[in-house]
Amino acid sequence: MAVPPQSAARVEVLRLPAGASERDELAVEEPLEIRIGGRPIAVTMRTPGHDEELALGFLRSEGVRAVTARPTADLAANAIEVEVDGVFDAGRLQRNFYTSSSCGVCGKGALEAVAVEAARVTSDLTVPSDLVSTLPARLRESQPTFAATGGLHATGLFEPDGTAVCVREDVGRHNALDKVVGFAVREGLLPLARKILCVSGRLSFELVQKAAVAGCPIMVAVGAPSTLAVELARDRGVTLCGFVRDGRVNVYSGPERIL
């Protein structure tokens, strides 16, 4: 699978202890400005590619009814114009810093904030644990830029039979998930009541928040969840599977969906 042209760049690197200088590939990181009505309302650092999806997914996760995204009228580099359905509050479009483990905001306040935008997921989807255990490997097969650089996160959207619907990579794990949600917006797939999300790293509160807003019933990760991520998943009815590797699955919430 070829590396997308904008996602990696070659740089000179000194390799020790051999002392040899070689060319190496690094993941690209650049800012993306998101505009509504020509007005800049957010900037996120991302790996270029699927920028329209990123803008749509980011805004949907923040409770804004973003419907379409396109290059800006002035064709500015690293900028996307988004059309929204109805009015929006620009003050709410800042990243929700209560998701940081060091912010000092209580878990109860965070859960209540998410509940405003995310209805409880009531999907009756069930999948075998054997299938769940294969998803990280299936995700890894669709990560060409990670294979070249070792520096990107990924999120995959899967059918209940394990078929990959969409895989996106990004230097930011939140951005990778936003790109997948944005893809779902463009394809008319929301809510994701019959789909599975798989992420390449750990499960933070904000990733579970995005899955809940998208209406996805099952979320799978290679790494560990945080306590608040598990609390949110249980509160919003999301099945959370962590440490999914080597045939093992730890189910932290919603075990009734895993057979």
Catalytic residues: 103
What are residue 25's phi and psi, to 5 degrees?
-100, 130
Q: How many CA atoms lie within 13 Å of 197's alpha carbon, on the beta-carbon side? A: 37
Q: What residues contact residue 27 under an 8 Å CB cut-off, 6+ apart?
A: 7, 8, 47, 145, 149, 151, 152, 171
Instruction: State which amino acid sits at residue 133.
Output: S
What are the φ and ψ backbone dihedral angles of 182, each rounded to 5 degrees?
Answer: -65, -40
Tell which residue, 19, 24, 31, has the closest CA to residue 8. 24
Radius of gyration of the chain (CA): 19
- For residues 172 and 45, the answer to whether their CB atoms sit within 8 Å is yes
- Kind and range of the H or E run holding 70: strand 66-71
Backbone torsions φ then ψ of 58, nearest 5 degrees:
-60, -50
